[in-house]
Amino acid sequence: MPSAATISRLKLKQTYLSDITLEVGNEWLSFLTITDSRMKSVPATMAHLIVLEMLEISKSSIETVNLNLFSKLTHLRHLNLCDNKILFLHLSDAAEGNFAQLRDLFLSGNLLTTIDLSGFNNMKLLQTLDLHRNRIRRMEGALVSNSLKFLDLSDNRIETLNWCEWNITSLNRFMLSSNELVTLPSCLPLTMPNVMYLIFQRNALTDGDSWYSLFTLERLYHLDISYNRLTKAVFDNVSLSLSILGLQNNNIKVLSVPAADYGLNILASFNSIDTFDIKSLSPNVTSLEMLGNPIDCTFDRARMRIGQEPVCCIRNTSQILN
């Protein structure tokens, strides 16, 4: 593509493109999308696009990526390399000032097995890091960021995580569903003290004292631990900010949340709860779902008439259990 071209947006979709050359001095192209191509690597001449703001190369055959190629693109805000065949990601510690405007980095749907997160630490404005749908088993390096708000590690093969050296104080949403975790990540409340959404569904998490540490998070709004291996949900104190507690599809036999702030909604369907006492729940719990348990005491205070008895339990003769 000649540098004299005055195109600001270019989209190449479903082509036989295997390479592209971009001349030095292109001061126009700001948005470039290449999708469904035959490219196996990111062209080195991408570094010539000095005003590039958004780059997407997706659904192609890229196997390795050197992210340092983009480090000097001072206008680049959004980088999407999803749904390729990336096995290796090279990123040396970025020098101060590199990746000056990068806010969103999408790497989902690739073949990564190991990732060194410390390489992202000097992306000073990075807010979104999406690594879901890879094959990640091992994570190296400590992630330290004051800007990161969204981290997605879902649909990988992660078994353990130790975050005691991590520091991501601005993180708002953390997704870790569909992995192989058997215990909660170490030091989580210290690592991300302001997180609001924790999604841990479809792992192999079991009972233990580590759950209590989560409820020290003062801004936690939604905790999803459905589709795990819990046998009890006895939480004496939960975060006052908690609004949604997802417990569905475990093997929970005992449910007790005696202290909560007003507005907590508990989803406990498809467990093994056989007996239940409404007094085991705080009166501030506004709704409870218990479908598919041996006993169903589902209620929703918002739909009740004033003075109505809050709970009517039904014995399930045709149990739907895990």
Say what percent of the chain tops pLDDT 90: 80
Say if residue 288's pLDDT is above 80.
yes
**Residue 186: per-residue pLDDT:** 86
**Residue 306: per-residue pLDDT:** 66
Distance, in Å, from the CA atom of 42 to the CA atom of 56, rounded to the nearest integer, reads 11
For residue 175, which phi and psi values (nearest 5 degrees)? -115, 125
- CA-nearest of 69, 111, 68 to 88 is 111
| Stretch (H or E) spanning 211 | helix 211-214
Q: How is residue 21 written in tokens? A: 């050359």
**Residue 87: per-residue pLDDT:** 96
Half-sphere exposure (Cβ direction) of 274: Cα atoms closer than 13 Å: 3
Assign 83 to helix, strand or coil.
Answer: coil
Domains and CATH numbers, the chain: 63-182 (3.80.10.10), 205-322 (no CATH)
Q: Is the pTM of this model over 0.85?
A: yes
pLDDT band at 28 (very low <50, low <70, confident <90, very high): confident
pLDDT band at 27 (very low <50, low <70, confident <90, very high): confident
Between 16 and 62, name the one with better pLDDT: 62
Distance, in Å, from the CA atom of 102 to the CA atom of 295, rounded to the nearest integer, reads 52
**Residue 84: per-residue pLDDT:** 98
For CA atoms 153, 158, 159, 160, give the dihedral sign: negative
pLDDT in tens, 160-212: 998 999 999 999 999 999 999 999 988 999 999 999 999 999 999 999 878 88
For residue 222, which phi and psi values (nearest 5 degrees)? -135, 120
> How many other β-carbons are positioned within 10 Å of the β-carbon of residue 303?
8
**Residue 320: per-residue pLDDT:** 44
Question: CA of 152: how far to CAs of 148, 211, 321, in Å?
Answer: 11, 21, 30
